[in-house]
Structure 1
Amino acid sequence: MKIQDSKILFIILIFGFLTSCNSIKRVPKNAHLLTKTTIKVNDKNEESEAVTNLIHQKPNSSIPYINFKTRLYLYNWARPNLDSILKARVKNNPKRTARQTRFLSKKQFNQGQRMKLGFNKWLKETGEAPVIVNDSLSKKTAKRLEDYYWNNGWLDVKTDFETIRNDNQRASVTYKVITGEPYIIDSLSTNIETPVIDSLYQNSLSESLIKPNKQYKTNDGLAERDRITDMLRNSGVYHFSQDNILFKMDSIGKTKKINIELYISEKPIRKEDTTLYEPFKIYKVKDVNIYTNNAFEDKDIPIKDTTFYNGYNIYSKEKLRFNSKMLTDAVFIKPKTLFRDKNKSLTSRRISNLKTFKYPKIEYVENTADTTLTANIYLTPLKRFSLGFSAEASQSNIQTIGFSLNPSLLMRNVFKGAETLELSGIASIGASKDGSNERDQFFDINEIGANLRLTIPRLFSPFNTEKIIPSSMFPSTRISLATTSQTNVGLDKQTATGTFNYRWFPNNKVSNRLDVFNVQFVKNLNTGNYFNVYENSFNSLNTIAINSGYINSGETLALPNQANLFIADATSGNVSGITTTDLQTVKAINERKERLTEENLILATNFSYTKDRRDNLFDNDFSIFRLRLELAGNVLAATSNMLGLQKNNNDKYELFNVAFSQYVKTELDYVKYWDLGAKNVIAIRSFFGIAIPYGNSTNIPFAKSFFGGGANDNRAWSAYNLGPGSTQSVNEFNEANMKIALSAENRFNLFGALNGALFVDAGNIWNVLDDVDDDASTFNAISSIKDIAVGSGFGLRYDFNFFILRGDIGFKTYDPAYNEGNRWFK
């Protein structure tokens, strides 16, 4: 009965939605629904976003490609005045209401009424009211189009519109634009009343955005006004503003040419009801005063410590606890130098980046007697110590329950140079069932670790780097040491890391990072538990042992000794019943086991370059380029004899009984977004990475290798489940030392904050120039491109403003793990 009722309800819902799909359901009589708008410029359709965005009225939004007006249909499904309708039902049907309240209770009945109203309200707010043709808005659009083309040089432009109303209450509007010939700038003359301003302008004339023989554009004049203002205010003209600039335009008869005159007035001085003018003057900064205690609670405390350093006056209401050089290096406003407006914003940003003070207050005081300025910089120190603490509870497929604590201590201005020292720790315990642990302890997972990080707001170097990387690039140095010890259901390991790196920003779009050294040491403590963790590998090994007659059917290799012994016997040719294919599989399992249980010592130097053209978080028309180059092991290789390092049985040098890694690795990553308007965005990504071992290494450490699949890669495969090459993924974690990844995605709005996406991902990982000799997983030549996997699918994104909830479904469109004639999805 319940199944039958569900079917009936489903049919009613489908019927209700289909009836709401009458797009003119909520269109009043004698009104028309706008279904199409067209812009014709000189009798040709114009579809550029810059022009179509000028239209005041557009048809209701629809899902791209299928033109389904979801939001309009949701709105139509809502009932107007539902509140009045429900009240009328209650009033006009007292017996029916009484029966419902007896059956449901009055409280449940009222709650049901509120739920109906709430759902109806959601339909209205999520939906979109029908767009009714409005001639007055069409007139405004025509005027807006006229202004747009006029401002872009077509001064004789004429616009009109035509509305076609059909009998089915639907209508379309066509806007017609006749531009005529564009006007060209014939000459640019100047009338600058202050001689010093005229001289500065003439020196920068080559940078002017208004040039003869160029089509006239109003925006060029606005941009030129901004350029002149910035140029003058950064050349000492303290009182200059945009209001002092005026462009006068004069057309030349019927020649479609324009003469432009640039007029820059003198400095206006307003006195009561009159305005006087005087020439602008060049200002210099005479004094710079730095006040280190500007907190409100300290406002009545007198100055106790005064320091004069490198031309700066430094004042403190207590004994000065900041290094004078640090303070003055953070200030770009220099004494006895020309006033430059940009130095104020640079100083504010630099001081904020010190993370020792709050956002500074900077003001200029004019010295009218000698045409100079005094710069006062007010600083408010942050608290010297900050204590942080966080706790977390978690659950996973291998952990029944886990708890972690993360305390941290932040110390500012440690060495009086705005250095920041942060000490943080982690302590966690968890419960799981370890198959190899007969006692089955409840809390059998634990981790403890500590991290010490020192941040210095400059390049910490014995050399003078100011000329190469000046303070205007906001350089910083970070030194960190970390160690962790894990006991878990896996291999158990101890790690130690240390880094010394520089960061600097040549401009707002570019960031650089140089790790002078990056040391990583990994020691596995419980390698005997390998096959308990990687069960897929063990199951394959056990099946081969049965098929080869090494053990009887129904038996299981004892862990870890018998499994390791079988691998040794098989690879040495002591198992007679094993096939060539199975022997290859055993070798692959053994190779993977050695890779994942080996201890690593990595001493690397790497450089990262990022160019991000994104203006802000809401920018959907930008590109990002990332480059990374890493060199590891060269220092140890060059000094191995000097350090007296000995080689192991594999002819590799060891340090602390671990063979150090030696390789070169590079990554190239490019992302590009195109904003098509109406929340429709196309995004592409391309990635190439390769790591080549040499010298003391024949393969790449697992932590430095590449993997395919996952939410941020090829979404048709789960993480580590793709490749390498055309091999079938039988292991839990598949990795290699070369990767190609490509992705294209179209994102569009469905309704409200819900967006949809269609995507295609392509790529794979391969082994190259290492010790893997499996042809299926190796990139041998350009023909290996045929093993690039292709996944496609769709997804939903819900925008919460502060984060986006994303869900994707990917299909294996082209799977290289199958035979070549059967790889495409059918």
Structure 2
Amino acid sequence: MKIRPIYYILFILLVAYGCSNTKYLPPGDMLYVGGDVTVKDSVMKRKDRKAMEKELTELLRPKPNSAFLGLRIKLYIYNIAGEPKKDKGFKHWLRTKVGEPPVLFSQVDMDYNADVLQNFSENRGYFKARTSADSTSSNRRAKALYTVTTGKQYTIRNVKFPDSTGTALDSTIARTKRRSILQKGQPYDLDIIKQERDRIDTRLKNKGYFYFNADNILVQVDSTVGNYQVDLKVKIKDDTPDKAKKVYTIDDIYIYPNYSLAYAKDSVKYVTDSVQQYKDFKIIDPQNTFRPIIYDRTMFFRKGDIYSRRDHNLSLNRLVNLGTFKFVKNEFRPADSLGNALDVYYYFTPLPRKSIRVETLAKTNSANYNGSEINVNWSNRNTFRAAELLTLTAFGGFEVQVAGQNKGYNVYRVGGEASLIWPRFITPIKIQDSSAYIPRTKALLSYEYQKRIKLYALNSFRAQFGYLWKDNARTEHQLFVSDINFVSPANVTEEYQRRIDGDPANDIEANPALQKAIDKQLIFGPTYSYTYTNTMQKRKKHTFYYKGSLDLAGTITGLATGANIKKGDTVNVLGVPFSQFVKMEHDFRHYLRLSENSQLASRIIAGVGVPYGNSSALPFIRQFFIGGTNSIRAFRARSVGPGSYDNSEGVADDSFLPDESGDIKLEMNTEYRAKLFSIVHGAIFVDAGNIWLWNKDPNKPGAQFTSDFLSEFAVGTGAGLRFDLSFLVLRLDLAFPLRKPWLPKNERWVFDDIDFGSGAWRKENLVFNLAIGYPF
């Protein structure tokens, strides 16, 4: 095997790079390159031993200089920048902001680190652990070596709680035993003991023990019982204050809805002269800024209630989620009238009632269009003095396709929207809600004019009325009992009409399916969506996202009128046939955390729309599309399918590529993501899927869904870079197809055709995607 000169050059550069990071070190010192911890235990499983070694290594201080592929680039930049002569300028910025000073071995206190490892081991139940420290060095680089010989881990033999026949406090603590996280046979762990104290404290706070805290609980450990076991005894500390042992109730509730520091000086005057009594609340609001009805829906405390930390937090959370107040705080004071009672004071600082906001957005969509949009929003956060939010929005924007056959067929949008949100359910039946999140009722009216250059324009009107609510931080519901959408075409160009009707003189075949995009469409009916996510829990190994939606269009009207398009009994509303269909869509995502800086993200989308009654197909704006920057990235946006239908056949190179839509969709994606360095992240991905029609279309052979649908999957792969700029993520993906569903059945896999050296292959198959944000 012949070694090329370039490899010698690279080897010399790497050696020179390594030497350059040590030649700047102080005389007699060495570069600290990290520490290794070895756990010796003959009983512990290898997996558990490795996990403990990783935990112990994270405790070592200081941390060595950061490295990428073994190269300490930041340290190298620090060294070559040199000592700046001034406290500003490029050289100072390069050394102090980009570079990183060397971590010296003389800065490492190995005895201190050994003590930390020893304490950690003992806190995990290894009471007879022994820790030793050593070091190794080479070429002015030093590494610390620690060995922890754990011995056998102690387990819990018995857990004793206070006697239930003792004081009221003892009895309350005793009743929490059945949910204790300290269980017989489990390993001793100081962190678990701390969690148990917090659990008991939380339970007591919800039972009225306002002044109690976790530090009042003592868990005594007896490790002399033998056989590597311990007995635990939960008790109240002897020096616990008397007030911490009492149950407190709520007395007077004061509310200051216009609180400020300047206002606070006159608070006593307002209490005596301007108190409005509303049910159990004493409201100090001389300006009558808010109707008292909002406090009924947000406050969980009532006069005479036993104090509860849960109700305390729920009240604060609901007040914050109103979106009306800039600051929300409360205070509890001993009541003058009763010995075991508390007065509650709520202080609210409102946001400005009216505001205007101008937003300029950079945007991208699944059709490979990129562009910009400007929104002007005017808001009134207290429209009817009960925290209602009225928003009026005007917007305008454009989208262009930077690559692909639709380049030049740009899209322009202008429109407006008015929405009103009430922070409550508006229903004939009173609905009780006890979550931390305010339920909302929303009404919306919107209009949009969309112009597709050289093709057509659309006028779109929408009206919605429905409800939004959350059970907790992970789940969200949206139910629109009325969702009306009317779309009407305008300015259909001759070019687009010629593509519909065909033009034999210019070798243009008729494509009646294009008519669907410009047909008048009237859609009305209820829609519902449910979302679950725990992706905010960044430390979990497995996190999930799920969104399911249901769209029932024209159901009641269709049943009432007996509409049946198959029999010719089509019913019009306002001169337009209304759409009748059932549509479901499920979007499931799984994120597997592989390390601190890498994860495997996967997604499955399954959707089906069934037209019936007054419709033979779903309306174009409610159909499914596939391909593009957030879908199967190896294919142009909305260019795949339906089924094995070839949508590019008969389309001239200088003409637009029509959007292909379907009634059924199945898509699967998986992507490995890893941080490369600084703000740069990389990804490798595989995408697969297709769309299909529910009913047969003679103009689109192979488009109908059949039992052979798996053989019609489009498959693509590729790699990309993501630049995480904190305020946005810029994504660059380069992909190419592995399977083309429109080819003959035995020729759809195209592995043998892959040829990166061929310009013709690259032009036809390589797809570049520029987008903002992650695809899923």
TM-score, normalising length: structure 2: 0.80
Q: Equivalent residue of 1:364, what SS?
A: strand
**Equivalent residue runs for 1:768-807 within 5 Å:** 768-769=694-695, 771=697, 774=700, 776-781=702-707, 783-807=708-732
Separation of aligned partners in 2, 1:40 and 1:406? 59
Q: CA deviation at 1:30?
A: 7.8
Is this contact kept in 2: 1:126–1:752, CA < 8 A? no
Q: Is 2:54 aligned against 1:52? A: yes
Alignment partner, residue 745 of structure 1: 671
Alignment partner, residue 424 of structure 1: 393
Separation of aligned partners in 2, 1:279 and 1:635? 61
Q: CA deviation at 1:790?
A: 2.7
Separation of aligned partners in 1, 2:7 and 2:183? 69
Q: Is 2:374 aligned against 1:411? A: no
Number of residue-to-residue matches in the alignment? 710
**Equivalent residue runs for 1:330-369 within 5 Å:** 330-367=298-335, 369=338
Amino acid corresponding to residue 676 of structure 1 in structure 2 = L
Separation of aligned partners in 1, 2:201 and 2:482? 45
Is this contact kept in 2: 1:266–1:279, CA < 8 A? no
Is this contact kept in 1: 2:66–2:74, CA < 8 A? no
Separation of aligned partners in 2, 1:190 and 1:602? 63
Q: Which of these two proteins has the greater Rg computed from alpha carbons?
A: 1
Q: Is 2:451 aligned against 1:525? A: no
Amino acid corresponding to residue 348 of structure 1 in structure 2 = L
Q: Is 2:512 aligned against 1:590? A: yes
Alignment partner, residue 196 of structure 1: 168
Q: CA deviation at 1:338?
A: 0.6
Is this contact kept in 2: 1:699–1:771, CA < 8 A? no
Q: CA deviation at 1:733?
A: 1.5
Distance 1:393 1:746, change over 3 A: closer
Alignment partner, residue 631 of structure 2: 713
Amino acid corresponding to residue 344 of structure 1 in structure 2 = H
Q: CA deviation at 1:37?
A: 4.2
**Equivalent residue runs for 1:176-575 within 5 Å:** 176-191=147-162, 195-265=167-237, 268-269=240-241, 280-299=245-264, 300=266, 302-303=269-270, 305-318=274-287, 320-367=288-335, 369-389=338-358, 406-426=375-395, 449-466=415-432, 469-470=433-434, 472-486=436-450, 489=453, 490-529=455-494, 531=496, 545=504, 551=505, 556=506
Separation of aligned partners in 1, 2:521 and 2:229? 73
Is this contact kept in 1: 2:153–2:228, CA < 8 A? yes
Alignment partner, residue 41 of structure 2: 42
Separation of aligned partners in 2, 1:455 and 1:199? 47
Separation of aligned partners in 2, 1:614 and 1:735? 31
Q: CA deviation at 1:695?
A: 2.0
Q: CA deviation at 1:793?
A: 2.3
Alignment partner, residue 404 of structure 2: none
Q: Equivalent residue of 2:316, what SS?
A: helix
Amino acid corresponding to residue 482 of structure 1 in structure 2 = S
- Equivalent in 684, 688, 694 of residue 762 of structure 1: 688
Alignment partner, residue 72 of structure 2: 72
Q: Deviations over 1:169-210 (max 9, x none)?
A: 677766544433332211112347971111212222211111
What is the identity percentage for the equivalent residue pairs of Structure 1 and Structure 2?
25
Q: Equivalent residue of 2:461, what SS?
A: strand
Q: Is 2:642 aligned against 1:724? A: yes
Distance 1:343 1:824, change over 3 A: same
Distance 1:683 1:175, change over 3 A: farther
Q: Is 2:575 aligned against 1:657? A: yes
Q: CA deviation at 1:697?
A: 1.6
Distance 1:445 1:813, change over 3 A: closer
Separation of aligned partners in 1, 2:635 and 2:521? 29
Amino acid corresponding to residue 633 of structure 2 in structure 1 = R
Q: CA deviation at 1:242?
A: 1.4
Separation of aligned partners in 2, 1:395 and 1:739? 22
Distance 1:391 1:35, change over 3 A: closer
Q: CA deviation at 1:768?
A: 3.5
Is this contact kept in 2: 1:24–1:130, CA < 8 A? no
Alignment partner, residue 7 of structure 1: none
Q: Deviations over 1:720-746 (max 9, x none)?
A: 133333343423312222222222222
Alignment partner, residue 767 of structure 2: none
Alignment partner, residue 576 of structure 1: none
Amino acid corresponding to residue 263 of structure 1 in structure 2 = K
Separation of aligned partners in 2, 1:685 and 1:222? 38
Separation of aligned partners in 2, 1:512 and 1:327? 24
The farther-off stretch of 15-24 and 339-348 is: 15-24
Distance 1:375 1:231, change over 3 A: same
Q: Deviations over 1:129-159 (max 9, x none)?
A: 7777679566555544444443333333334
Unaligned runs of 5+ in 2: 1-5, 402-409, 649-656, 755-776
Alignment partner, residue 813 of structure 1: 738
Q: CA deviation at 1:717?
A: 2.3
Is this contact kept in 1: 2:669–2:687, CA < 8 A? yes
Q: CA deviation at 1:761?
A: 2.4
Q: Deviations over 1:21-59 (max 9, x none)?
A: 446752668847748946444367658566414313778
- Equivalent in 601, 616, 636 of residue 557 of structure 2: 636
Distance 1:705 1:118, change over 3 A: farther
Q: CA deviation at 1:233?
A: 0.9
Separation of aligned partners in 2, 1:79 and 1:316? 63
Distance 1:618 1:492, change over 3 A: farther
Distance 1:392 1:610, change over 3 A: closer
Separation of aligned partners in 2, 1:446 and 1:797? 28
Separation of aligned partners in 2, 1:209 and 1:395? 49
Is this contact kept in 2: 1:758–1:794, CA < 8 A? yes
Q: CA deviation at 1:541?
A: 5.4
Is this contact kept in 2: 1:38–1:45, CA < 8 A? no
Q: Is 2:530 aligned against 1:609? A: yes
Q: Deviations over 1:539-569 (max 9, x none)?
A: x955xx3xxxxx3xxxx37xxxxx7xxx6xx
Backbone CA RMSD of aligned residues: 4.2
Q: CA deviation at 1:410?
A: 1.8
Q: Equivalent residue of 2:173, what SS?
A: helix
Distance 1:477 1:794, change over 3 A: same
Q: CA deviation at 1:759?
A: 2.3
- Equivalent in 19, 26, 31 of residue 22 of structure 2: 26
Q: Is 2:585 aligned against 1:671? A: no
Q: CA deviation at 1:81?
A: 6.5
Q: Equivalent residue of 2:56, what SS?
A: coil
Q: CA deviation at 1:375?
A: 0.9
Q: Equivalent residue of 1:735, what SS?
A: coil
Separation of aligned partners in 2, 1:189 and 1:382? 52
Amino acid corresponding to residue 615 of structure 2 in structure 1 = S
Separation of aligned partners in 2, 1:139 and 1:812? 58
Is this contact kept in 2: 1:330–1:471, CA < 8 A? no
Q: Equivalent residue of 1:408, what SS?
A: strand
